[in-house]
Structure 1
Amino acid sequence: MNLQINFILPHWMYWLVLALLPLLVMLLVDRSFRRGATVSGGDTTEVPGGSSEADYRPPGNVLTSVIDRISGFFGRYVAYWSLIAPFIFTYEVVLRYAFNSPTNWAHESMTLMFGMQYLLAGAYALREGGHVRVDILYQRARPVNRAALDLATSIFFLLFTLALLASGWLFFSQSVSDKWLFGASYANEVSFTEWAIQYYPVKFMLFLGALLLLLQGLAQLIRDFQSYLHFRRQHDGSRGFSSLMVGMAVLLAVWMAFEIVNIVTTDYDSLALSIEYSLERVGIGSLTLLMFGTLMVVLVAGLPLAFVTGGLGVLFLYLVGGQNMLNLMPSRIFPMMTNYQLSAIPLFIFMASVLEKAGIIEELFDAVYKWMGGLKAGLAIATIIASTLLAAMVGVIGAAVVTMGLIALPAMLRRNYNPEIAIGSIMAGGTLGILIPPSILAIIYGVIAQQSVGELYLGSLLPGLMLAGMYALYCWLRGTFNPRMAPPMPVEDRVSTTEKLRLLRNMLAPIVLVILVLGIIFTGVATPVEAAGIGTFGALIVAALHRRLTWPNLHAACMTTLVATAMVMWIIFGASIFVGFYILQGGQTFVQELISGAGLGPYAVLALMMLLLIALGMFLDWVGILLLAVPIFVPLIQGLEFSGVWGLPGVAPEDVSLWFGVIYLVNMQMSFLSPPFGYALFYIKGVCPPSITMAQIFRSSIPFLALQALGLVLVILFPVLVTWLPNLAYG
């Protein structure tokens, strides 16, 4: 009997579902809220909380209010698209194995859907403060100086968005019928697949996303100006720095307006005072110092990382290659929009949000805590075990640190745990999401380094479990040698064996999800993206079983996913322009020749890279580090031979790329705990009692940083920790 199902999704139906489904969900969500429904749980977004030093909120005006509404509508509209993907990927896998009927549209339709979502979500994330800043000096500045910095650095934001707006329109118009929009290259362009979906609606999102981002940026600029006037009136001290920044902002705005006139009125020749082509003949060494020196200066001024790298990328494109080179922007962004592997990012974040709303994470911690509470430092060990299981479910670092901070920290402090042990165990356990599959960082690394994500997941599993064991052992030793620092659960609070067995039911759902997601990846049944979709589908079922699958909870999960995904993807977009231009100018070859010319051996080169990554991790976001360093480091590492040190086994040439990838992931764990600006330090600060100081948080990270450094050394010295499982599975 032939059970094959040969349904092919019509193009018109695809666009119709994307257009109408969000409107239907909006109606259902709003009706649910009107009837008194509320959101369960907290917030698992991976966006660090901002400073509350200056409580002043600029009032805005009618224009900013309208722009906020527009950004809010589009953000909410595309956020609900996330509800579609779990069902489509589950449908694809079921049809492939149950009916021998793989589709030719499921993967492409969801990849393009998420690509459009990334672009349109940027404005909403900007409105919500979701784009990551590097607050090295910015948060320490006086309010009036901070407002002046916002005005000055807004020029880089405008450079990025205006260039993307113009080049995005050209990119779109060339893909649509010249009957309508005078496209010159591809009339009615379609994808190079059997499904052959139209590309021009997808490419239009480059223009529309830039337009929405530009509008929201203008609203933000108005508020920044209002903040500047407010704080200037209140400020009693010197106003020299703030006046200098505002004056610089005015000069840069005039210069930018002049260069826009130059672009509009000229093609191959520049106006007399234009700086177009002014760096055309600068050597790669000087260009390296100029690009990365400027990057560091602008980063510390507090502009979101995505717009720092994107704006500087546009500036150097114009200074070196002229206005025509700005068309590099969409050609760098579009491949990231349409990259299939990156679709796993929003799905895993969505799964984390749904599980948190379902109360699964709290039940998981409660069960582990009551099982382990009788041990010395049992509560800290339970936190690390629960964090390990949480990492294996969601792969989202901020979610684990914030959620476990909300659940485990009060429980430990109530039982007189030393705050440094309590905080350190939460932060260290939370960072396991970097290593334990399904790590989102591993997905992005695999895309950038052209490395199999499945192999990375297998290679990082043992190092991740090893580090989890080291954290737990450290806590146990501290509790054993000094019980007052981490006392065991009081005898009267402990539960019987029967109760412990009953509590195992609370762990059944998360354990099944872990086995489901990792099992289908490791056995090759499904790709990591499909596994993310199936896992999210499973999370929805679990939420329904817990009576938490409500419209308000789905709304909250979708919006959390949107902001966290937009933050990651816009950093990728901006950094890909900056790094892409640098590599195009020969930067990759320059750095490789610089390192190889130093006469260092392979392990010395690796050590130098690790030190550079640790230094970058003290100041930069993990996505920014990946985009800046990996494209340069990976080709150099692949050309080196690692034959082992001190008589220990080396690494086979075919395993070097995988081995370095896992080493990189271990190193990035350290970036989350590295003072002064590791993100886990600020995630945990947002949920700590006011009595916990940043100095205590910094001190609590030091022992676990040392353990991570030891783990890094072990993975370098014993490559088998990385290569054994992938070689066992893939040969």
Structure 2
Amino acid sequence: MNLQIDFVLPHWLYWAVLAGLPLIVMLLVDRSFRRGGEVSGGDTAETPVATSEQAYAAPGNVVTRGIDRISGFAGRYVAYWSLIAPFVFTYEVVLRYAFNSPTNWAHESMTLMFGMQYLLAGAFALREGGHVRVDILYQRAAPLNKAALDLVTSIFFFIFTLALLTTGWRFFSQSVSDVWWFGDSYANEVSFTEWAVQYFPVKFMLFFGALLLLLQGIAQLIKDLQAYRHHREHHEGSTVFASILVVLAVILGAYTIHEIVNIALTDYESLALSLENSLSTVGIGALTLLMFGTLMVVLVAGLPLAFVTGGLGVVFLYLVGDQHMLNLMPSRIFPMMTNYQLSAIPLFIFMASVLEKAGIIEELFDVVYKWMGGLKAGLAIATIIASTLLAAMVGVIGAAVVTMGLIALPAMLKRNYQPEIALGSIMAGGTLGILIPPSILAIIYGVIAQQSVGELYLGSLIPGLLLAGMYAFYCWLRGTLNVKVAPPMPEEDRVSTAEKLRLLRNMLAPIALVLLVLGIIFTGVATPVEAAGIGTFGALVVAAMHKRLTWPNLHAACMTTLVATAMVMWIIFGASIFVGFYILQGGQTFVQELIAGAGLGPYAVLALMMVLLVALGMFLDWVGILLLAVPIFVPLIKGLDFTGVFGLPGVDPADVSLWFGVIYLVNMQMSFLSPPFGYALFYIKGVCPPHITMGQIFRSSFPFLALQALGLLLVIMFPALVTWLPNLAYG
């Protein structure tokens, strides 16, 4: 009997669902809130918790309030699209295995849907403060100087958004039939699969997303001007530096307008005083210093990373090339927004948020604590084990640090744990989400380095568990050597073996979910994206079992997912322009020749890269480091022979890319704990009691940083820790 199902989603139904479903969900969510519905759980957002807030909040005006409403509606509208994906991917896997009816439309429809969501979410993330800043000097500046810095750096934001707006429109118009007045082609462009869906609505989002972002940027500029005026009126002391910054902003703004006029009026000959093509004769060495030097200067000024890299990328495209090279922008962004593997990012973040809202994380910690609490430093060990399991559930970097900070830190401090070991165990355990599958960082690395994500997951599993064991052993050792540092659970709080077994029943569903997601990835039953979709569907089932599958919780999960995903993806968009242009100019070859000319051996080159990554990790976020460093480092590493150190076995040339990928992931764990700007330090500060100082947080990170460095050394010296499982599974 032929059980094949040949259903193909009609194009009209696809667009109708995307257009109509969010409106229906909005009505249901609003009705639930009106009837007293509340959001349970906390927040699993990716963005760091601010350590201080500016006392003055600019009031805005009728224009800013109108723009905020537009961005809010657009963000909420596309956030609810995330509800579609778990059902579509589950449908695809069931049909493929139960009915031998694989589809193309399921994968393509969700990839394009998420691509459109990324673009339209940028403005909402900007409104919510979700775009990551590198707060090296910015947070330490006086309020007046901070407001002036906002005015200066906003120029790079507008350069980026205006360039994307104009090139995005051109990119869109070329995909539309010239029957329409704006069309530049002869036929409607469709995808290359048999589904053949129209591409022009997807490409339109490049223009429309940039338009929303531009409007939100104007609203932010109005508020920045209000803040500057307020702080200037109330500032005590010198205003010279702030005045210089404002003058600089005016000059940069005037020149930006001049170049916009140049682009609008000329084609092949520039206006007088135009900077177009002015750096065309600069060599790659000087260009390297200029590009990355400028990048560091603008980064420390406090502009979100996505717009620093994107804005500077546009500037150098124009200065080294010409206005026509700006068309590189959409051709760099579109492949990223329609990359199939990157669709796993919003799905895993959504899965994390749903599980958190279902109370699974609190129950997980409670079970592990009662099992391990009788040990010396049992509560710290329980925190690390719970963080390991949490990492295997969600793959969201930062979620474990914030959540465990809210749950485990008060419990440890109440039981007289030394703050340093309590803080360190939470931060170190939280960083395991970088290594333990399903790591989001591994997904992005796989896309950038053209490495199998499944192999990366298998390769990082043993190092991740090894580090978790090292963290737990260190806590146990400290508690054994000095019981006052980390005392065991009091006798009266301990439970019987029967009670422990009963508690495990509460964890059967989430543990089964972990085994399901990792099992179908490792066995090759489904791709990581499909596994993420099935896992998210499973998370919805688990939430329903816990009676937490409510419209307010779904709304909160969707909005958290939207902001976190937009932060990651817009950094990818901006960095892909900056790094893509640098590589196009010969930057990769320049770095290769520079290292080759230094006469360093393969392991010395690797050590140099590790030092550079640690240094970058002290200042940049993990996505920025990946996008800036990996496209340059991976081709270099692939060309080197690693024959082993101290007589130990080396790395097979076919495994070098995989091995380096896991080394990179271990190194990125260090970036989260590295003072002064490691993100885990600020995640934990945001949920600490007021009496916990940044000095204590810094000190608590040092022992675990040393363990991470030891883990990094072990992975380098014993590559089989990485390669054994993938070779066993995939040959």
1:560-709 alignment, distance < 5 Å: 560-709=560-709
Question: Scaled by the length of structure 2, what TM-score is found?
Answer: 1.00
1:571-599: CA deviations, max 9, x gaps?
Answer: 00000000000000000000011011110
Residues of 2 paired with 1:39 and 1:312: CA distance?
Answer: 40
CA distance in 2, matches of 1:185, 1:626: 37
Q: Secondary structure at the match of 1:192?
A: coil
What amino acid maps onto 2:553 in structure 1?
A: N
Give secondary structure in 2 for the equivalent of 1:180. Answer: coil
> How far apart, in 1, do the equivalents of 2:92 and 2:496 lie?
45
Shift in Å, 1:3: 1.1
- State the match for 2:130 in structure 1: 130
TM-aligned CA deviation for residue 179 of structure 1: 1.1
| Aligned pairs (5 A) from 1:2-401 | 2-185=2-185, 187-401=187-401
Superposed displacement of residue 513, structure 1: 1.0
- Conserved in 2, the CA contact under 8 Å of 1:420 and 1:696? yes
Q: Is the 8 A contact 2:459 2:723 kept in 1?
A: yes
User: Gaps (5+ residues) in structure 2?
Assistant: none
Match of 1:440 in 2: 440
SS of 2:7's equivalent in the other structure is coil
State the SS of the aligned residue for 2:80: helix
Displacement of 1:399 after TM fit? 0.7
3-state secondary structure, aligned to 1:396 = coil
Q: Which secondary structure state, in structure 1, belongs to the residue aligned with residue 29 of structure 2?
A: helix
> Mean Cα displacement is larger for which, 136-145 or 504-513?
504-513
Paired amino acid for 1:298: V
CA distance in 2: counterparts of 1:398 and 1:311, whole angstroms: 27
CA gap of 1:660–1:419, structure 2 versus 1, over 3 A, is: same
Do the aligned partners of 1:405 and 1:687 also contact (CA within 8 Å) in 2?
A: yes
Contact map agreement 1:421 1:486 (CA 8 A) in 2: yes
* Aligned equivalent of 1:504: 504
Task: Tell me if the contact between 2:417 and 2:486 (Cα under 8 Å) persists in the aligned partners.
Answer: yes
> 63-72 or 509-518, which moves further after superposition?
509-518
Q: 1:216 to 1:590 in 2, by over 3 A?
A: same
* 8 A contact 2:479–2:487 mirrored in 1: yes
1:31 corresponds to which letter in structure 2? Answer: R
Offset, 1:243: 0.5
CA contact (8 A) 1:174 1:187 kept: no
> Is the Cα contact below 8 Å between 2:51 and 2:686 reproduced in 1?
no
| Displacement after TM superposition at 1:29 (Å) | 0.1
For residues 486-534 of structure 1, give each alpha carbon's deviation from its aligned partner in whole angstroms, at most 9, with x where no partner exists: 0000001100111111011122122111100000000000000000000
The yes-or-no answer on 1:556 pairing with 2:547 is no
Partner deviation per Cα, 1:321-360 (whole Å, 9 max, x = no partner): 1100000000000000100000000000000000000000
Is the partner of 1:397 in helix, strand or coil?
coil
- 1:159·1:311 contact (CA, 8 Å) conserved in 2? yes
Name the residue aligned to 2:520. Answer: 520
| 1:173/1:181 contact within 8 Å kept | no
- Is the contact between residue 358 and residue 549 of structure 1 (CA under 8 Å) also seen in structure 2? yes
- Assess if the C-alpha contact under 8 Å between 1:163 and 1:326 holds in 2: yes
Deviation at 1:50? 2.5
What letter matches 1:434 in structure 2?
Answer: I
Shift of residue 181, structure 1, vs aligned partner: 3.5
Aligned partners of 1:596, 1:92: CA distance in 2, in Å? 49
Corresponding letter in the other structure for 2:687:
V
Q: How big is the alpha-carbon RMSD for the aligned residues of Structure 1 and Structure 2?
A: 0.6
Can you give the 5+ residue segments of structure 1 that lack an aligned partner in the other structure? none
For residues 190-219 of structure 1, what are the alpha-carbon distances to aligned partners after superposition, in whole Å with 9 as ceiling and x for unaligned? Answer: 011111110000000000000000000000
Q: CA deviation at 1:54?
A: 2.1
- SS of the residue corresponding to residue 180 of structure 2 reads helix
Shift of 1:51: 4.3
Please state how far the C-alpha of 1:182 moved relative to its aligned partner.
3.9
- Partners of 2:591 and 2:650 lie apart in 1 by 25
1:187 CA displacement: 2.3
Look up the equivalent residue of 2:704 and give its one-letter code.
F
Q: Deviations over 1:367-423 (max 9, x none)?
A: 000000000000000000000000001111111110011010000000000000000
Cα contact 2:436–2:464 (8 A) shared by 1: yes
Displacement, 1:56?
1.1
d(CA) in 2 for partners of 1:519, 1:633:
31
Inter-partner Cα distance in structure 1 for 2:51 and 2:118: 26
Q: In the aligned structure 2, how far is the partner of 1:155 from the partner of 1:54?
A: 22
Secondary structure, aligned partner of 1:146: helix
Q: Secondary structure at the match of 1:181?
A: coil
After superposition, the Cα gap between the structure-2 partners of 1:265 and 1:464, relative to the gap in structure 1 and judged at 3 Å, is same
Separation in structure 1 between the aligned mates of residue 396 and residue 181 of structure 2, nearest angstrom: 42
1:431 is matched with: 431
User: Contact (CA 8 Å) 1:391, 1:432: kept in 2 or not?
Assistant: yes
8 Å CA contact 1:75–1:120 kept in 2: the answer is yes
CA 1:31–1:708 in 2, change beyond 3 Å: closer, same or farther? Answer: same
**TM-score scaled by length of structure 1:** 1.00
Query: What CA distance in whole angstroms lies between the structure 2 residues aligned with 1:274 and 1:610?
Result: 41
- On the 8 A contact 1:45/1:563 being kept in 2, the answer is yes
Task: Say which SS state the counterpart of residue 375 (structure 1) adopts.
Answer: coil
Distance in 2 of aligned mates of 1:581 and 1:699: 40
Query: How far does residue 115 in structure 1 lie from its aligned partner after superposition?
Result: 0.2
Contact 2:177-2:185 within 8 A present in 1 as well: no
| 1:387–1:430 contact (8 Å) kept in structure 2 | yes
Q: Secondary structure at the match of 1:277?
A: coil
Number of residue equivalences? 731
* Distance in 2 separating the partners of 1:91 and 1:611: 46
Q: 1 CA distance for matches of 2:51 and 2:384?
A: 28
Taking the aligned partners of 1:27 and 1:17, their CA distance within structure 2 comes to 15
SS at match of 1:178: coil
Can you list the C-alpha shifts for 1:580-622, whole angstroms capped at 9, x where unaligned?
0000000000001101111000000000000000000000010
CA displacement at 1:52 relative to structure 2 = 3.3
After superposing on structure 2, the runs of 4+ consecutive aligned residues of structure 1 that deviate more than 4 Å are: none
What does residue 530 of structure 1 align with? 530
- Matches of 1:369 and 1:693 in 2, distance apart? 26
- For the residues of structure 2 that align with 1:55 and 1:240, how far apart are their CA atoms? 22
Cα deviation, 1:149-193, whole Å, max 9, x if unaligned, reads 000100000000000000000000000011113433462000111
Give the conservation status (yes or no) of the 8 Å contact 1:383–1:404. yes
| Deviation sequence 1:632-670 (CA, Å, 0-9, x none) | 000010000000011000000000000000000000000
